[in-house]
């Protein structure tokens, strides 16, 4: 098999595997949405008398807990590695990682990225590649393996969320993380396989108190 044919075969196998993983996540999207809604319900309890980080902190903790509890019947379990909190399905080879995203989160035509930098340990654990100007759409053969040989042996899907205070809404999506920039922001996502999560407006918390919504605990 020549090099061109071999590369095409590899890309096809990766695409098939990603599609299977995406189908699995879509089939459990109702559960994942409920986890986000549980986080919003806890966040709704915050008042101006809570510490300024309470809104994001309680949301983060409740969503992670809900993901682990609600997805356990379909094979997921918790993984906590030096403050990197994951919900993992070893059989499916999937790891879900909750992360605050930028205003592009949930926008199909946008290019989301993490709103906070990731530490060196996190970037290595999740097997993200350094790329200061990723262009995955033009060169799909540059996609990493669908099931990379990392310490987790899983595809890592970021559960990105963004609180938009201008219209009192939250946007969320599942996106497969690929790369980070020189500052440590996760900027490269597989833009062709994002899963946009629609949150019912009735579930949006009143965010009048000016709390800090960005909480990410893995600093390593």
Q: How far apart are CA 60 and CA 53, in angstroms?
A: 11
Burial class (CB in 10 A: 0-12, 13-18, 19+), 98: buried
Neighbouring C-beta atoms of residue 156, cutoff 10 Å:
23
Q: How many residues does the chain have?
A: 220
Confidence of residue 88 (pLDDT cuts 50, 70, 90): very high
From the list 157, 27, 171, 14, the residue with the least C-alpha distance to 98 is 157
Q: Provide the whole-model pTM.
A: 0.79
End-to-end CA distance of the chain: 43
Instruction: Please work out, in degrees rounded to the nearest 5, the angle formed at the alpha carbon of residue 177 by the alpha carbons of 172 and 181.
Output: 110
Burial class (CB in 10 A: 0-12, 13-18, 19+), 169: middle
Compute the average pLDDT of residues 2-29.
63
Q: Please check whether residue 158 is in contact with residue 97, taking contact to mean a CB–CB distance below 8 angstroms.
A: yes
Q: How far apart are CA 102 and CA 163, in angstroms?
A: 9
From the list 35, 21, 26, the residue with the least C-alpha distance to 70 is 35
Q: How far apart are CA 64 and CA 45, in angstroms?
A: 18
Given a cut of 60, whether residue 147 has pLDDT beyond it is no
Confidence of residue 168 (pLDDT cuts 50, 70, 90): low
Compute the average pLDDT of residues 176-185.
92
Question: 202 Cβ partners below 8 Å, 6+ apart?
Answer: none
Domain boundaries, the chain: 3-203
Given a cut of 70, whether residue 54 has pLDDT beyond it is yes
Compute the average pLDDT of residues 78-84.
94
From the list 156, 175, 44, 33, the residue with the least C-alpha distance to 104 is 175
């Amino acid at each position: 098999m020549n090099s061109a044919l071999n590369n095409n075969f590899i890309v096809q196998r990766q695409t098939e595997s990603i599609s299977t993983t995406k189908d699995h996540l879509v089939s459990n999207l109702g559960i994942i949405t409920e986890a986000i809604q549980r986080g919003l319900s806890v966040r709704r309890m915050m008042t101006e008398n809570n510490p300024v980080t309470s809104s994001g902190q309680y949301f983060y903790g409740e969503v992670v807990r809900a993901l682990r509890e609600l997805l356990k019947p379909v094979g997921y379990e918790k993984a906590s590695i030096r403050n990197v909190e994951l919900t993992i399905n070893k059989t499916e080879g999937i790891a879900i990682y909750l992360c605050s995203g930028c205003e592009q989160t949930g926008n199909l035509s946008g290019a989301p990225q993490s709103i906070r930098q990731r530490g060196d340990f996190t970037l290595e654990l999740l097997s993200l590649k350094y790329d200061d100007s990723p262009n995955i759409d033009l060169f799909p053969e540059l996609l990493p393996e669908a099931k990379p040989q990392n310490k987790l042996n899983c595809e890592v899907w970021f559960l990105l969320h963004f609180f938009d205070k201008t219209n009192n809404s939250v946007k969320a999506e599942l996106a497969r993380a690929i790369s980070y920039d020189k500052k440590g922001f996760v900027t490269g996502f597989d833009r062709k396989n994002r899963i946009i999560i629609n949150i019912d407006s009735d579930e949006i918390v009143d965010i009048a108190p000016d709390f800090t919504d960005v909480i990410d605990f893995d600093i390593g």
